[in-house]
Chains A and B, each alone.
Chain A
Amino acid sequence: MTSLMEFKEVDVHYGPIQALKKVSLTVSEGEIVTLIGANGAGKSTLLMSIFGQPRISSGEIIYRGEDISQKSSHYVASHGLAQSPEGRRIFPSMSVEENLLMGTIPIGMDHAEEDMQHMFELFPRLLERRNQRASTMSGGEQQMLAIARALMSRPKLLLLDEPSLGLAPIIVKQIFQILRDVASTGMTIFLVEQNANHALKLANRGYVMVNGEIRMTGTGDELLVNPEVREAYLGGH
């Protein structure tokens, strides 16, 4: 397997505070990789630093053989990296279709029709609500929309920031089933999650982040049974 994206000893500072400390991780093509960790561990910072918000203070972010750590957000977005941001962040006053079309910004509207058709097959709920304002949908539907919107730019690597945030357990299950479906199409997924149980079951490999450092790494199943991980994230026992 070839590496699609690689963090090499990345440091990130917010002023005097160091948020990421010599973080190294790899995402290979076709893989589902998850990054779990507690609140404030630096998970979202890591994801945002791919888009240069904030800029890393040292190290390299290699994406398909190129260092993208100093590129602009729109350069990164138009080269096959798509993100579903934390808290969904759909456009509330736009219809579902318009939200999806916003996702085509990085690549232009050439494939908009067929891609939208594809998204409606993947998320039938969105088809029912295609002309509805996005703010009138439930949290789960909004999360589906956020994922679909990210997929509209035909990404090579899909970055997801806490897709389970604020959703009912049954909806979380649905969302993870959808992610499984998306992954079965060959999409590479990098998933940042607090819900360690679901995330590790889905993922091929996982990284555990504590206080801005990668503490542990292994396959999803290894980490699931690891006593330290169980203690910290899965409620012990």
Chain B
Amino acid sequence: MSATAGINYKKSVIDALVAGFMALIVFGPIVGVVLDGYSFNAEFGKVAWMVAVVVIGRFAISCFFQTEKGIAMAFRHANNDEGVAVRLPDHKSKLLWVVPLVIAIGLLVPFIASKYVLTVIILGLIYVLLGLGLNIVVGLAGLLDLGFVGFYAIGAYGLALGYENLGLGFWSMLPIAALIAAMAGAILGFPVLRMHGDYLAIVTLGFGEIIRLILTNWTSLTHGPNGISAPLPTFFGLEFKRRSRDGETFHEFFNIPYDSAYKYMFIYLVLFAVVWAVLFIKHRLVKMPIGRAWEALREDEIACRSLGLNHVLVKLSAFMIGASTAGLAGVFFATYQGFVNPSSFTFFESALILAIVVLGGMGSTLGVVIAAFCLTVLPELLREFAEYRVLMFGILMVVMMIWKPRGIVRVTRTGFAARKGVVK
């Protein structure tokens, strides 16, 4: 490859003109012709402006890919190495100091952020939990689940229904909802044990819809589309309301003025702790034999069975642990909203969670955390562009899949050794 041949401007100009012509075809009728009653106005200015941007942009990209740097970049992308990078067993990350820093910043956030920012971050953390849960099922065990929102709904309705019918509060329902969701994961898991890929995706898609339709139509229990209210968490029995029927409230006990932000602060801190706990458990699970069994199952199910791996246990454990994480997320969602109804648990949510996992990088924990924040916090920050949100979402997806098909953070896994110093 002659990288130093210089830039072939003729080729770049042709590239740019072709792109400009394409842009004219695409934008011409869509942007250039604006209907006005029964007649129409031709807006050539706008079209010319858009085409000019495309031509200049294409010219710049074309030139860039003829420079040495550009060639190197194109080469890197053409040779995108497949699969998971395996690090040496004694590898220690140089970025470990970031963890205490993130925890410290995370603990300070509720005291500096405004109530609105805090609620956005809570939503982001809820999606981090969902992403981590689905990451086990899709990213690690390789079981494509399109009905993940079902478990999320079970967690959320678990809190609301447990409060209404059994009088159980946030703290008792948190573990119980996780257990119920795990049971639902097992119930879904059994019939789909023999399925792979597309077939599995269809069945799980059906499962998610069944849950939503039950919640909508079983009105005597769930109040249908009207939804039910969900309780707030309590701080050692103290409520975060302005007034409480039974006993003191949080602000009365500490003798401080009432502020509705306190409850969000508290939800945030609990959620923050739970996210870290889930991160830690997931980190340990991946290093345990069960974690390797999940990855082995993703890579080659027949090989697993020839080695005598009990695939029933492995698949069910992936489904159950993923589902219980979603159940936890559901409880937090319900308490944060104070209200749940079935419209929060549509297929779009499942698609969003799956997008988080795919964009973040299948199986990569850090990637999922970053992607979850990008896909939930960014739309909130870009409220002015609300009309274009879904368009931007789509463009992001397309660009990501072209340039970084393995996600934001490529999965790297520290290799596993039996014990150090054995093999010389």
Q: Report which A residues bind B (CB closer than 8 A).
A: 51, 53, 72-74, 76-78, 82-85, 89-95, 97-98, 101-103, 105-106, 109, 112-114, 116-117, 120, 127, 130-133, 135, 149, 153
Distance from B311 Cβ to chain A, minimum over Cβ atoms (Å): 8
A102 touches B296 (CB 8 A): yes
A97 touches B308 (CB 8 A): no
Contacts of A133 in B (CB 8 A): 83-86
CA distance A91 to B292 in the complex (A): 11
Is B88 engaged at the interface, CB distance under 8 Å to the other chain? yes
Interface residues on B, range: 20 to 34
Distance from A130 Cβ to chain B, minimum over Cβ atoms (Å): 7
CA distance A145 to B313 in the complex (A): 26
B423 touches A91 (CB 8 A): no
Q: Which residue of B lies closest to A83 (CB)?
A: B306
A91 touches B306 (CB 8 A): no
**Would you list the 5 A-B pairs with minimal beta carbon distance, nearest first?**
A77-B308, A89-B303, A93-B84, A93-B83, A113-B422
**Sample of 20 more A-B contacts, CB < 8 Å, known A83-B306, A133-B85, A153-B307:** A76-B308, A82-B307, A89-B306, A91-B299, A92-B300, A94-B299, A97-B415, A97-B416, A98-B86, A98-B416, A102-B292, A102-B307, A106-B308, A113-B423, A116-B423, A117-B423, A120-B423, A127-B423, A131-B89, A135-B82
Scan residues 271-308 of chain B and give those whose CB is less than 8 A from a CB of chain A: 289, 292-293, 295-296, 299-300, 302-308
Contacts of A72 in B (CB 8 A): 310
Scan residues 369-397 of chain B and give those whose CB is less than 8 A from a CB of chain A: none
Contacts of A83 in B (CB 8 A): 306
Total residue contacts A-B, CB cutoff 8 A:
104
Contacts of A53 in B (CB 8 A): 305
B295 touches A149 (CB 8 A): no
Q: Which residue of B lies closest to A90 (CB)?
A: B303
Using A105-B293, A131-B89, A135-B82 as known contacts, say yes or no to A51 and B306 having CB atoms under 8 A apart: yes
A93 touches B86 (CB 8 A): yes
Q: Report which B residues bind A (CB closer than 8 A).
A: 82-86, 88-89, 289, 292-293, 295-296, 299-300, 302-310, 415-419, 422-423
Distance from B211 Cβ to chain A, minimum over Cβ atoms (Å): 32
Distance from B288 Cβ to chain A, minimum over Cβ atoms (Å): 11
Contacts of B422 in A (CB 8 A): 113-114, 116-117
A-B contact pairs, 24 of them (CB 8 A): A53-B305, A73-B306, A73-B308, A73-B310, A78-B308, A85-B303, A89-B302, A90-B300, A92-B83, A94-B292, A95-B415, A95-B416, A98-B86, A98-B416, A101-B292, A102-B309, A105-B293, A109-B289, A116-B418, A116-B423, A127-B423, A130-B423, A133-B85, A135-B82
Distance from B298 Cβ to chain A, minimum over Cβ atoms (Å): 8
Q: Which residue of A lies closest to B297 (CB)?
A: A91
Contacts of B306 in A (CB 8 A): 51, 73, 77, 83-85, 89
A95 touches B86 (CB 8 A): yes
Q: Which of B84, B88, B310, B415 contacts A74 (CB 8 A)?
A: B310
B86 touches A131 (CB 8 A): yes
Distance from A94 Cβ to chain B, minimum over Cβ atoms (Å): 7
B299 touches A106 (CB 8 A): no
Q: Which residue of B lies closest to A111 (CB)?
A: B418
Distance from B358 Cβ to chain A, minimum over Cβ atoms (Å): 17
Q: Which of A74, A93, A94, A101 contacts B308 (CB 8 A)?
A: A74
A101 touches B83 (CB 8 A): no
Using A95-B415, A101-B418 as known contacts, say yes or no to A149 and B82 having CB atoms under 8 A apart: no
A94 touches B303 (CB 8 A): no
Distance from A108 Cβ to chain B, minimum over Cβ atoms (Å): 9
Q: Which of B89, B299, B304, B310 contacts A93 (CB 8 A)?
A: B299
Most buried by A among B85, B88, B415, B418: B418
Q: Which residue of A lies closest to B82 (CB)?
A: A135
Q: Which residue of A lies closest to B300 (CB)?
A: A89
